[in-house]
Amino acid sequence: MQVHGPHGPNGLSPIFPTRSAGGAESIRPTSLEVPRDEIQISPEARLLEEISRTNDIGQGRVDEIRRMIAAGVYETPERLSVALDRLLDELNTRVVPDQS
23-54 per-position pLDDT tens digit: 555 566 566 788 888 999 999 999 888 877 77
Residue 39 is assigned to a structural domain of this protein: no
Q: Distance (Å, rounded) from C-alpha 76 to C-alpha 74? A: 6
**C-beta separation of 9 from 3 below 8 A:** no
Convert 73-98 to b/e letters by CB count within 10 Å (16 or more is b).
eeeeeeeeeeeeeeeeeeeeeeeeee
Residue 6: what pLDDT? 63
- 45 exposed, middle or buried (CB, 10 Å; 0-12, 13-18, 19+)? exposed
Residue 86 is assigned to a structural domain of this protein: yes
Parent domain of 70: 58-94
- State if pTM tops 0.75: no
Residue 86: what pLDDT? 92
**C-beta separation of 75 from 69 below 8 A:** yes
Residue 3 is assigned to a structural domain of this protein: no
pLDDT in tens, 81-96: 999 999 999 888 876 6
